[in-house]
Amino acid sequence: MTSRSRSTTGLAVLFGVLGSLHFVKPEPFEQIVPRALPRKKELVYASGVAELACAAGLLHPRTRRAAGLVSAALLVAIFPANVQMAMDLNRKGSPTARAIAFARLPLQLPLIRAALRASREGR
């Protein structure tokens, strides 16, 4: 069995927690779906399913390669929601909320790198 790095385990946990939150409390996620996209609740649920699938896939060596690649793609796909959140908070958020929202944007890059590294840990 191929060992799993701490970054891969951490990414799986992150996806698992956030994916679950998409179902437990979807409203905050609906608010950051870019305005141009329809059916926000359905998109939130779909991305929650995708995050849970990525989490599960990252944990097993046989599926880690594909899950790492899909995880990287998912992180790219949800980036516009993070931009939407930053723009919304820039208009009406507190200075602290704005700073956190904009600081999160470049943090997507290490997450994408971790997902790509995870894909190389697979069999």
Pair 119, 97: CB distance under 8 Å = no
pTM over 0.85: yes
- Tell me, what's the pLDDT at 122? 61
Considering only CA atoms, which of 57, 76, 29, 37 is closest in space to residue 121?
A: 57
Buried b (16+ CB within 10 A) or exposed e, 50-86: bbbbbbebbbeeebbbebbbbbbebbeebeebbbbbb
Pair 20, 48: CB distance under 8 Å = yes
- Tell me, what's the pLDDT at 1? 47
Per-block average pLDDT, block size 10, for the chain (123 residues)?
84 97 95 91 96 97 96 95 92 90 93 96 69
